Chains A and B, each alone.
Chain A
Amino acid sequence: MGLVRKQAPQQPEEVLPEPPDTGTLLSQLDDPDPDCRREAALGLVDVAEAVPELLARVGTEEDPRVLESILTTLAARDTEEVAGGLAVHLASDEAVLRTAVAAALATMPQSVPALLPNLLAAPDHDVRVMTAMVLADLPHPEAHTWLVKMICEDPHPNVVTGAIDALLPSATAEDAQLLRDAVERFPDDPFLRFTVNAALPRLTGTA
């Protein structure tokens, strides 16, 4: 007993089993074992023809950890096909699904911008709230500008509050008037007012 050395082989590549082929991985997406499905989804990361199958699973996969692995694999492609296929789930009634999809879209700076005209004009204001969540973490130089546009123009106070929440981590004193104007647009919304009043002292250096 005590410290023992692993009985070789020493290098991981020496013990790596042959990776399953694409057909096997696709069939494993139906395996009753969620860990098998999770590993299959991760194994399909460089397989373009698996994208439609993976996108189809996003709305049906019930295990949240398998869903995460599917989204991680899909997000790595960062194409408009994938982003568009994911964005439809921002309207889902399932909080776990729409939140997971928003987190995945937030890692796709190449393809999300093309979706924004439709997302920012979505008739369902909850979709626009989720879009603010995406922009909160999207590593794109225009993310701040898009959030400002939402704050200035969106007609729903929940969307504007969501956009303010998303903007705050990167907001500066220059954004203070923008927030005051938002309160003026929705004077009867106590949550929006609270959010802005809580943030202004830090932004203006009067905390």
Chain B
Amino acid sequence: MTSAAATGLSDADFTRFCDYFYKRTGIHFTASKRYFVDKRIDACIRNSRYDTFASWFAALRTADRGDMVQDLINQLTVNETYFLREDYQFDAMLSTVLPNVLAARGGVGRMTGPVKILSLPCSTGEEPYSIALRLLEEWDQIDHVDVEIHGADIDSDVLAKAAHASYGERSVQRVPKTWLSKYFVAVGSGRYQVDEGIRSAVTLHRVNICDTASMRAFRDFDVVFCRNVLIYFDELSSRRAAENLYGAMRPGGYLFLGHSESMSRISPIFTPTRLPEGLVYQRPSGAK
């Protein structure tokens, strides 16, 4: 059965569905994503007890079925990533950002509370674990400072995978062999699992970045990686996400976006800062 045959989505259905999904998540699909959306909806219908788009969509909207909504979100969010992706930003974190954070917070030995780093969206965990690896292997202050690493995502399936932390060879191909043997356990079939010590150090959360109420739980982060997600949002959702990220950060905190993303097109509330390794955004330190 083809996806089109299974979903039977008309253009009007597609528009109604996209409006609904946008209101739930802030993620906006244009007609150019029609094939992708059709296929994912088809999978959701197969996972449900409904056999047509109309009955499935009606249940989704009216029955307040959290499991169906989460399945839908899981199907429609993109989670492709790998270890040490865009690692020039990790270079910037180690060489410039963290020294600045320590200085701004009074210096090693005088600061209160840990350095807090957030990876949002963290997808299947490659990013927060990459941060952990780079800190453990390359940051000379790691033995003198407490660091909390948090990963968050809207997709419960990827969070479960992040918690299990088992990866194929393609995902770990950029990890140096010495790190692979030191921090991973070969679990067969060419897969490697991050060792328990690092897994237990990363705290995972499910959250919608556009949901101001639930994002209020995230506070005082010194460094936030929010890469390659704002490009999926329309202008208003991007603004809301930017506001929520601002609220999650400590004054003077640093925000890394994906290399093709620009906060200047979204909101003026952050201050762009040019580092040797590229552009980063800061919550102004003068603001509380």
Q: Considering the chains assembled together, what is the distance between the CA atoms of A173 and B202 in angstroms?
A: 53
| CB nearest to A4 among chain B residues | B146
Q: Which of B142, B152, B217, B234 sits near A107, CB closer than 8 Å?
A: B234
Task: Give every chain B residue within 8 A of A137 (Cβ-Cβ).
Answer: 235
Closest beta carbon of chain B to A77's beta carbon, Å? 10
A72 with B147: CB separation less than 8 A: no
Closest beta carbon of chain B to A18's beta carbon, Å? 11
Task: Give every chain B residue within 8 A of A4 (Cβ-Cβ).
Answer: 114, 146-148, 201
Q: Is A59 an interface residue (CB 8 A)?
A: no
Q: Is B11 an interface residue (CB 8 A)?
A: no
Q: A68-B269, A76-B240 are in contact. Are A3 and B201 (CB under 8 A)?
A: yes
Q: Is A52 an interface residue (CB 8 A)?
A: no
A2 with B146: CB separation less than 8 A: yes
Q: Which of B144, B239, B288 sits near A35, CB closer than 8 Å?
A: B288
Q: A2-B147, A3-B132, A3-B149 are in contact. Are A12 and B218 (CB under 8 A)?
A: yes
Q: A3-B149, A3-B198, A6-B203 are in contact. Are A43 and B144 (CB under 8 A)?
A: no
Task: Give every chain B residue within 8 A of A10 (Cβ-Cβ).
Answer: 203-205
Interface residues on B, range: 35 or more
Q: Considering the chains assembled together, what is the distance between the CA atoms of A35 and B239 in angstroms?
A: 17
Chain B interface mostly = mixed
A34 with B287: CB separation less than 8 A: yes
Q: A5-B148, A5-B200 are in contact. Are A42 and B239 (CB under 8 A)?
A: no
Q: Is B214 an interface residue (CB 8 A)?
A: yes
| CB nearest to B198 among chain A residues | A3
A1-60 residues with Cβ-Cβ distance < 8 A to B are: 1-6, 10-13, 15-17, 19, 33-35, 38-39, 42-43, 45
| CB nearest to B199 among chain A residues | A5
Q: Considering the chains assembled together, what is the distance between the CA atoms of A10 and B217 in angstroms?
A: 11
B236 with A19: CB separation less than 8 A: no
Q: Considering the chains assembled together, what is the distance between the CA atoms of A102 and B216 in angstroms?
A: 28
B142 with A5: CB separation less than 8 A: no
Task: Give every chain B residue within 8 A of A3 (Cβ-Cβ).
Answer: 132, 135-136, 142, 147-149, 198, 201-202
| CB nearest to A5 among chain B residues | B201
Q: Is B207 an interface residue (CB 8 A)?
A: yes
Q: Considering the chains assembled together, what is the distance between the CA atoms of A137 and B236 in angstroms?
A: 11
Q: Which of A5, A35, A75 has the most CB of B within 10 A?
A: A5
A-B residue pairs in contact (CB < 8 Å), sample of 30: A1-B143, A1-B145, A2-B142, A3-B132, A3-B135, A3-B142, A3-B149, A4-B114, A6-B203, A11-B205, A12-B217, A12-B218, A13-B214, A16-B214, A19-B213, A34-B287, A34-B288, A39-B247, A42-B243, A42-B244, A42-B247, A43-B213, A45-B240, A65-B246, A68-B239, A100-B268, A106-B235, A107-B234, A107-B236, A139-B234
A68-B243, A72-B240, A107-B235 given; 16 more Cβ-contact pairs under 8 Å: A2-B136, A3-B148, A4-B201, A6-B203, A10-B203, A10-B204, A11-B206, A13-B217, A19-B216, A33-B288, A35-B288, A42-B243, A45-B240, A65-B287, A68-B239, A106-B235
